[in-house]
Chains A and B, each alone.
Chain A
Amino acid sequence: MSNETLENLFAMDDVPAFDPAFRAGVMRAVARRRFLVELAVLACASVVLLIVLLASGDALATAAAQMLSSLDTAGATLVIAGGVAFLGHALVTRAISLPRRVFS
């Protein structure tokens, strides 16, 4: 039996050269796998964050207490900064019509 005869026999069993259904199946499985991997990464990150928060609980409580005690100064600074920003924005966008000098 020649090489050619064997090759022809084998060729009869070949699957199609282009099979969109097969490709779609593979890509669906890839999308599913990607989703699971991302989900696993997110779950790991959440667990790590939770552990860090639990471990640094005391330090965070101290920092929060210090921040509350200095809130008076910080609050006033924030109100002034916000007011300046609002007025500046209104002036630039002409939301407030200021009196203008008219040249006759």
Chain B
Amino acid sequence: MQPARTDADLVSASLAGSDAAFSRLVDRHQQALRSFLRRVSGNDADADELAQEVFLAAWTKLRLLRSPDMFRSWLFGMAWRMSKTFKRSAARRRARDEAWHELQPQEQVPTNDLRLALNRALESLPLDQRAAVALCLAGGWTHDEASRALEIPLGTVKSHVSRGRARLEALLGDAHEQ
């Protein structure tokens, strides 16, 4: 059996011109990246569009990555910075999409109250706190990794996660009781 190639191997191969290697990197990180961006932005379509732009930016700037084994942190750091500037155009697009959706026949989509409550609770968190929660509580990242990706001090990440968790618990507890 062929051993799994590390991110560093795939980055090197991508730099040598291998599209197959880059698509492996996309496969490997798309789930975590899209989930992170969905939690941060609160809109799935915007998050997926942004995720595609983040991968494209990663491909373009791959030569600037100094430590190929830090690909994941580098990718998420870029995603976090891009997500902060993405909001303006997203708001315009969302207004257009909503107008289009109003013209479509409404279908019943099964929803889960707790899941909706979680999304609402996440949206109520400040952006930095939401990103830290999305990485550490939902993504299973260590505080140190999140600190590097989000470029905020380790202590701040810890307090963001702790406060974010308390707030989520309070809001979800309320939703659970209702």
Which residues of A approach B to under 8 Å, CB–CB? 1, 3, 6-7, 9-10, 12-19, 22-23, 25-27, 29-31, 33
**CB of A28 to closest CB in B, whole Å:** 9
Whether the Cβ atoms of B115 and A12 lie closer than 8 Å is yes
B154 interface hit (Cβ, 8 Å)? no
Given the complex, which residues of B lie within 8 Å of A19, measured CB to CB? 30-31
Given the complex, which residues of A lie within 8 Å of B13, measured CB to CB? none
Given the complex, which residues of B lie within 8 Å of A18, measured CB to CB? 27
9 A-B pairs with least C-beta separation:
A10-B138, A15-B34, A26-B55, A1-B169, A29-B56, A23-B26, A17-B31, A26-B26, A30-B59
Which residues of B approach A to under 8 Å, CB–CB? 19, 22-23, 26-27, 30-31, 34-35, 38-39, 48, 51-53, 55-56, 59-60, 112, 114-115, 118-119, 137-138, 140, 165, 168-169, 172-173
Given the complex, which residues of A lie within 8 Å of B23, measured CB to CB? 23, 26-27
Whether the Cβ atoms of B172 and A9 lie closer than 8 Å is yes
Whether the Cβ atoms of B60 and A13 lie closer than 8 Å is no
Query: Mostly helix, strand, loop or mixed at chain A's interface?
Result: helix
Alpha-carbon distance A75/B137, docked complex (angstroms): 82
Whether the Cβ atoms of A14 and B27 lie closer than 8 Å is no
**CB of B172 to closest CB in A, whole Å:** 6
Alpha-carbon distance A30/B60, docked complex (angstroms): 8
How many A-B contacts at CB < 8 Å in the complex?
77
Whether the Cβ atoms of B31 and A30 lie closer than 8 Å is no
Alpha-carbon distance A33/B35, docked complex (angstroms): 25
Given contacts A13-B119, A19-B31, A29-B52, 12 further A-B contacts (CB under 8 A): A7-B138, A7-B140, A10-B35, A12-B115, A14-B31, A15-B30, A15-B34, A15-B38, A19-B30, A22-B34, A30-B19, A33-B60
Whether the Cβ atoms of B31 and A16 lie closer than 8 Å is yes
Report which of A10, A16, A25, A27 forms a contact with B137, defined as CB distance below 8 A: A10
Whether the Cβ atoms of A13 and B118 lie closer than 8 Å is yes
Given the complex, which residues of B lie within 8 Å of A23, measured CB to CB? 23, 26-27, 30
Whether the Cβ atoms of B52 and A9 lie closer than 8 Å is no
Whether the Cβ atoms of A26 and B138 lie closer than 8 Å is no
Given the complex, which residues of A lie within 8 Å of B118, measured CB to CB? 9-10, 13
> What are 16 residue pairs bridging A and B, where the CB atoms are less than 8 Å apart in the complex?
A1-B168, A6-B169, A9-B172, A10-B39, A10-B118, A10-B137, A13-B38, A13-B115, A15-B48, A19-B30, A19-B31, A22-B26, A26-B26, A29-B53, A29-B55, A30-B22
**CB of B22 to closest CB in A, whole Å:** 7
